[in-house]
Amino acid sequence: MNQTKGSKLSEQLDAYKRIFDIVRIVDPIRKEIVRNQDNGVISDDALCCSLLLDKNEYSKCIINRSINERKTFIKVQHNGDKMLLMFATPIEIKGDTLALELIKDITDDLVFETVFQEQKHKLQSIVEDLNTLIMKDPLTNLYNRRYIDQMLPREISNCSNKRQPISIAMIDIDHFKDINDAYGHGAGDIVIKRFAQLLSSYTRNNIDWVARYGGEEFLICLPNTDNRKAYMVLERIRKAIERAIIKVGDEEIQITGSFGLFTVIDKELAYTDLIKCADDKLYQAKNQGRNKVVS
């Protein structure tokens, strides 16, 4: 490659670096990255290039396809809680055909609009699938922290505008570490999934929603629900959890949960403050012996 071509390529790569999170040139024959610019934002353990370099079979790898078919490929890839936009295009360097790979985290930048009526159903399905990947916890199928961050402020604002109460509960599985230590993390996952099912089964469809806040901690949002009614709902859930027997192989595990409840009426509170208020109540429930609802 002559100096002019090399200079032009460097200029192009510099331009790409200002747009993409990862810019790299990959040699699929030698199984190596020839040139790499990585800002460290995206974990590299599930990306197409890594699978290629680890010599794993990956038929859908757009790097391989770009090399084999001599054209540019684009795909959207779900990686953990991120949605990534990926480009792969073949380039010639010193007589070798390599692949230029560009990767951008687009999780917070996704905007979908239905333009053509005849495509509406198909596009809605795509959007629903993408939202499921981005907004759902893969273990429990409950909503995740991203959903909380986006939807809870809207719920608070909506209830405030309508002068309706909104109740938030923070819930924790009691002594969950002991369960993991005694039965293993596989059993712990089963307990979390069953706990999540019990939380969801006592809430109103299309009104209330349940999310996994993190680890063994969960959040329930109860719009247009005052403190008394919310307390009754949580008590029913608490008793159902207390009665439940979770089978893991030959073992039977019984669990309890602690609940912190906080209600806002006729005012708009920052969602992080509302969560903190409910979390403070949860802390009180734990200090008072667990397996109870504190409001």
| Mean pLDDT score across all residues of the chain | 82
- Which of 71-85, 189-203, 224-238, 242-256 shows the lowest mean pLDDT across its residues? 71-85
pLDDT greater than 60 at residue 72: yes
136 vs 257, higher pLDDT: 257
> Is 216 among the catalytic positions?
yes
Query: Between 109 and 287, whose confidence is greater?
Result: 287
Residue 215 DSSP class? T
197 and 101 in a common domain:
no
- The larger pLDDT score, comparing residue 18 to residue 270, is at 270
**Same-domain check for residues 161 and 96:** no
| 119 within a domain of the structure (yes/no) | no
What total number of domains does the chain contain? Answer: 2
Q: What pLDDT, on a 0 to 100 scale, did the predictor assign at position 46?
A: 45
Q: Is pLDDT of 1 > 50?
A: no
142 plus 251 within the same structural domain? yes
Closest CA to 102 of 18, 45, 28, 31: 18
Instruction: Note whether residue 234 is domain-resident.
Output: yes
Percentage of residues in the chain having pLDDT higher than 90: 45
Claim to verify: residue 17 and residue 64 sit in the same structural domain: yes
Based on the fold, state whether residues 150 and 251 are members of the same structural domain. Answer: yes
Which CATH number fits the domain that encloses residue 151?
A: 3.30.70.270
How do residues 78-125 score in pLDDT, each as one tens digit? 776 778 888 888 887 777 788 888 888 887 776 655 555 555 555 555
Most confident of the ranges 40-49, 67-76, 105-114: 67-76
Structural domain containing residue 191:
136-294
Angle of helix 227-243 relative to helix 185-201, nearest 10 degrees, comes to: 140
Please name the residue ranges forming H helices in 97-175.
120-135, 145-161
Mean pLDDT of 125-141: 69
Tens-digit pLDDT profile for residues 144-176: 888 898 889 999 999 999 999 999 999 999 999
- Percentage of residues in the chain with pLDDT exceeding 70? 78
Inter-residue long-range contacts of 77-81, CB under 8 Å, 24+ positions, other chains counted? 77/47, 77/48, 78/133, 78/134, 79/42, 79/43, 79/46, 79/47, 80/43, 80/46, 81/107, 81/134, 81/144, 81/146
pTM reported for the whole predicted model: 0.62
124 lies in a domain? no
Question: What is the domain-level CATH number for residue 30?
Answer: 3.30.450.20
At 78 the pLDDT is 73
> What is the pLDDT confidence band of residue 192, given thresholds at 50, 70 and 90?
very high
Which of 56, 91, 109 marks a domain boundary? 109
C-beta separation of 82 from 42 below 8 A: yes
> Is-contact 70 86, C-beta < 8 A?
no
Helix/strand/coil percentages in the chain, nearest 5: 45, 25, 30
Q: Catalytic residue, from 32, 57, 128, 216: name it.
A: 216
Residue 129 belongs to some domain of the structure: no
pLDDT at 261: 98
